[in-house]
Every structure is written in C-alpha cells, then in structure tokens.
A and B are shown apart, each in its own frame.
Chain A
Amino acid sequence: MKYTQELCPILKKVQLNKTTFSFKVASKEAVKSMKPGQFANILVEGKTLRRPISVCGFSREEGFIRFVFEVRGEGTAIMSEMAEGQNMDILAPLGNGFDIDPNEKAVFVGGGIGVPPLLGASAPYGANATALLGFRNKDAMILADEFAANGADVRIATDDGSYGLHGFVTQLLAQRLDEAPCDVIYACGPKPMLRLTAAEAEKRGIRCMVSLEERMGCGVGACLVCACKTRTPEGGEKYLHVCKNGPVFDSREVIWE
C-alpha cells in the first residue's frame, strides 16, 4: 500500500507570523517512504475537502513530519486552531516530490508560502544550496534562518523593500546566475514567479523543477480536478494532474496560462 491514512498527534505548534503556522506532527507510517516536495491531504473538521499541504520537513529516525501553512480561507483557519496533543488526520505521502542529488549545485527559488517545501529539499545540499526567498514584506518572512542554519547561501527580496532586495525574487535569481552557474533550480511559489523563474532557467539552459498548486479533490489522482496543462513529447498538449503527476514538474513541460 503506497498511501497511508494516519492520525498524527501534534507535537509542536508555532505561529511564525500573523498568518503562518508550523505544525510538527508524529508519524510512524506515512513518514517511512516520504520524499521532500511531497504533500499530505489534511482533514479539516466539518469540511468535505481535505487541504493539501506540502511537507516542510520530516525525520524518519525521530518519527515526525512538519507542515508550514498559511491561513488563506476557512479550511486553513480551522486547521490553525488545532492544538498540541490533538490528532491531525493525514493522507500521505502524496505526489512525486523532488528528486534530489546533494552533490549538485542547486538554487532554490521560493515565494511566500511556496518557501516551506524548499526547506526540506535544500537541507541535504548544505553549502551547495542557494536559497532565494521572496516575501511581501519583512513581517511575512519565514524560515530564512533555518535555510541558513542548514548551510545555504540565503538571499531575500521583499515587494516593499522592508528587507533585502526591494524587488522580486526572480531578480535575485538573475544576479545569482550571473555570479556562478548551477546544475538545477527548484522553485515553488505564485505562478507568475514560477513562470519567470522557468524562463530564466530555460534562457540559460538550466534544468528547472517547479512545484505547482491547483484546487484539489481526492489528492491521489482519481478525480482529475487539479488539472495542469502540459506539453507531450509528441508536441501536443495534455492535462496532467498536480496531485499525482506532480506537484513537481519539469518547467519545460508546463504550459503557463
């Protein structure tokens, strides 16, 4: 059985800023085969649909999974009210995740709540990782210190200039790539950011993996709602699905709309 439904006791809850929460939950089963970049579909009391939340980090040895999410609507608001000791009902591990090779030089490009899945993915890279993180403003900044603690070269951009570069994270990307080459780019964040990141990577001939978001149903590839338009090898177009074929896609596959 590839998928597990698990009741995970909440070990530690931390509010990172006004709207962002970090939950560390205990896991025995789901964590066993987990990869960075995968996600869990989390039950929300009183809601029909589970909420897909990316894995920020996990440890098989210590038996935990960490989720960092932003309160965006009713569902995530209810989730944010959960307390330590309560059980989080998760379906996991879902999606394909990142294929990581820590011997490569990797640049991680994250925007806003797209940053958390990159933390777990970048950790094994140590000093081989550059983390380019974009936020609305200084108050919205999350996890930057943790990227640095893992050894990454961390650079920040904010929309209003209240911290780091006054501008977009994609400007940091162009600067970084002008300084030195890299083997691979991993990106997660808003679609315009992903599109610009993909364009920059393709211009320079660098492999770029993007983690996408779409409104989801089952989370396992059965209901086909979370469609993403992609190019087929034959030159045609096809809707793949973020939950099963993704959430991580090669940027050259994605048709940006």
Chain B
Amino acid sequence: MSRLNVNICGVDFKNPVITASGTYGFGREYNEFYPISKLGGISSKGMTIREKAGNPPPRIAETPSGILNSVGLQNPGVDHFIEKDLPWLREQDTVIIANIAGATEEDYAAIAEKVNASDVDMVELNISCPNVKAGGAAFGTSCAGAELVTALVRKHCPNKPLIVKLSPNVTSISEIAKAVEAAGADAVSLINTLLGMRIDIRTRRPILRNNKGGMSGAAVFPIAVRMVNEVYNAVKIPVIGLGGICTWQDAIEMTLAGASAIQVGTVMFTDPYAPLKIIDGMDNYLAENNIANISELVGQVQLW
C-alpha cells in the first residue's frame, strides 16, 4: 500500500492512520482483535511522570453521536510504560508515539527527559487534557503557556520529533498553533476533546462524577475539520487531524482540510476494527482516483 506511505518529521508511517491517545491503551487489548502492526502508528495513553489514579467514576456519558469522558489521565507512570509496555510495542512494527502530560513545568521537563532517552519514535505533548484540575490545559489554553511548555519540552527532549496536541477550548486555535511552532514544535495534532457536561434530570446531578468532561465522537467532526483547516493555513509544520473521524470518507475529508496523518479514537468503541476499515477505504479511494500518494491530497480543499 505505498499509496498510503507518509513521512512526518522524518518518521516513516506505512499508512497515515494512528490510534488516538486514551482510546487504545498501549495497544495490547486491541491486539487481541487484530495485529496492531496494521496501524500506521499508535499514540499511547497519556502518561505522567508518576502513576496517576484518575478521577472517580462515572467517567463516561453518552451524547448524541458521541461521548463525554473524564478519565483524568489514569496511567501507570512513564517508567512503567518504558519498562513493561514499550519493549512489547517495539516488536509490533508500528510507529510508537509517547503521549505525555504534566501538572507543572518540573513534571513536563522530567517526563520529556525520560521519553527522550527511550526507544519511542515520536513524542506527543498533551497540553490540552480538560480532565485534570492542574492539568495540561492550564498551559494549552494561552499562547504564552503553550509556548513556554513547548520550549521546555523541546529543550529536555531534543532527540525526538515533537508533536504538540492542541485544545479546541480556546478563542483562536491557530494563534496557539503558531506559538508552539515558534517554540520548536515539529508538528501539531488537533483537536483534543471539547469541554462538555450532561445532567441526570432525575437526580439533578451531572452524570460524570467530575461534573464536566471532554466530548469526542462523530458529533465533533465538523469542528475538527474547521480547526485543522485554520491551523493548516496558519503554520508550516505538519498537522495531524483528529476529532470524530469514523469512516474512510471522514479521513479523506480531514486530509483535504490539511491533515498529513489522522488519528482515530472514539469510533473504536463502536467498532474496534474501524482503523483497518479506514485504511482499506482510503487505499481503494486513492487507487480508483489514480492518486499516487495520499500526500497529494493534504490541504487540497479549494475554499470558496
């Protein structure tokens, strides 16, 4: 499937379909459905320097064509990942992206050094998790904060291509994108989840124990397409598009909006095989339209 080969920041992907952080663990569970070597890449569960317990349940609520979640970055800590999961992942022949998060500048610096010295292919800096009080979103929702933490991680992680994952819960996502580009990001990925809330009308309590959570799934797709296109037009670095992609048609649409690769997340809760169907569908589309490589379509939407 050479039509789907892409290179992002010097890293070769067999196809541009990556599983999104937080929806796919470290790949082991879905490897019980199909070999995850079929994927272009996998973005790990968001990791912190120390183990993190996460938020109390309920952590999920269904919404029209989507979900809200408030997991709160539950993870075993980056050392556990490097010792227990990374060696196994390395054998699976797919691009490994370490998604990292922190609450303080010190945390970000420390975890950046750990992943810099590890065997991962790329780093995805999460400055946009909406579910932890002192979380990355405190940095990711202002240009100054985004720039500061990007420069810090860049300094402590000089050897890995650095993707910065952007929050949509901002006034201008393209301004944030320009700030992280200036601070040394090699690529951006967007969008993280949109802040939302649902209330149980019988108990008059929010369904999520954390009151609010991040919204994802098909319902957010048009917002993601708009934001990817705005950011594509604002920066020179590659854009990785995500947010509500469910089908190969969505993936092509996101590519036209400006995405050099795409991430797939919530749809896998409906269909664990969705990433494989998207890969096959994209390849067939390129073949039928005599397009030699998917990169020819990146950003090719003709705006009115």
Cross-chain pair count, CB within 8 angstroms: 105
Given contacts A49-B67, A227-B57, contact A1 B270 (CB under 8 A): no
Write the chain A residue with the least CB distance to B270. A48
Q: How many residues of A contact B (CB 8 A)?
A: 32
Q: Check B218–A226 contact: CB distance below 8 A.
A: no
How far does the alpha carbon of A227 sit from the alpha carbon of B54 in the complex, in Å?
Answer: 9
Q: Is B285 an interface residue (CB 8 A)?
A: no
The secondary structure that dominates the B interface is loop
- From A43, A222, A237, A257, give the contact of B270 (CB < 8 A): A43
- Cβ of B206 within 8 Å of any chain A Cβ, yes or no, is no
Contact of B88 with A by CB under 8 A: no
Contacts A48-B217, A215-B61, A217-B69 given; does A223 touch B269 at CB 8 Å:
yes
B270–A244 contact, CB under 8 A? Answer: no
B58–chain A nearest beta-carbon distance, Å: 4
A24 within 8 A of B: no
Check: B172 CB closer than 8 A to any chain A CB: no
* CB-CB under 8 A for A1 and B269, given A217-B67, A218-B29: no
Q: Is the CB of B57 within 8 A of A214?
A: yes
B71 within 8 A of A: yes
B192 to chain A, nearest CB (A): 15
Known A5-B272, A49-B269; judge A222-B30 contact (CB<8 A): yes
With A48-B270, A217-B60: A1-B23 Cβ-Cβ less than 8 Å:
no
B46-87: contact bitstring with A at CB < 8 Å (1 yes, 0 no)? 000000011111111111011101010010000000000000
User: What is the distance, in angstroms, from B92's C-beta to the closest C-beta of chain A?
Assistant: 14
Assembled-state Cα–Cα distance A219/B34 (Å): 16
Partner of A228, one of B22, B30, B57, B67: B57
A222–B29 touching, CB < 8 Å: yes
Q: Residues of A contacting B29 with CB < 8 Å?
A: 3, 218, 220-222, 244
Cβ of A141 within 8 Å of any chain B Cβ, yes or no, is no
Chain A nearest CB: distance from B66 CB in Å?
Answer: 6
**Distance from B267 Cβ to chain A, minimum over Cβ atoms (Å):** 8
Task: Check if A169 is an interface residue, CB within 8 A of chain B.
Answer: no
A236 closest partner in B (C-beta): B53
State the Cβ distance, A209 to closest chain B Cβ, in Å: 20
A48-B67, A222-B25 known; A227 and B273 CB under 8 Å?
no
Known contacts A48-B269, A214-B57, A239-B74; is-contact A225 B69 (Cβ 8 Å): yes
Measured in the bound complex, the distance between the Cα atoms of B44 and A224 in whole Å is: 13
Whether A224 pairs with B266 at a CB distance below 8 angstroms is no
B residues within 8 A CB of A239?
Answer: 53-54, 57, 74
Residue of B nearest to A221 (CB): B29
Q: Tell whether A5 pairs with B33 under 8 Å between CB atoms, given A48-B270, A49-B270, A225-B57.
A: yes
**A223→B22 contact, CB < 8 A:** yes
Determine if B212 is an interface residue (Cβ-Cβ < 8 Å).
no
In the complex, which residue of chain A has the Cβ closest to the Cβ of B58? A215
Would you give 18 A-B contacts (Cβ < 8 Å), ordered by A?
A1-B33, A5-B273, A43-B271, A47-B62, A48-B65, A48-B66, A49-B60, A214-B57, A215-B61, A217-B269, A219-B269, A220-B272, A222-B29, A224-B45, A226-B59, A227-B55, A229-B56, A238-B53
19 additional A-B residue pairs with CB within 8 Å, beyond A222-B29, A239-B74: A47-B62, A48-B63, A48-B217, A48-B218, A91-B272, A215-B58, A215-B60, A218-B23, A219-B269, A220-B32, A221-B29, A222-B24, A222-B25, A223-B22, A223-B269, A224-B45, A224-B74, A237-B53, A257-B56
Question: 3 shortest A-B CB distances, which residue pairs?
Answer: A222-B25, A225-B60, A2-B32
Mark B residues whose CB is within 8 Å of A: 22-25, 29-30, 32-34, 45, 53-63, 65-67, 69, 71, 74, 207, 217-218, 266-273
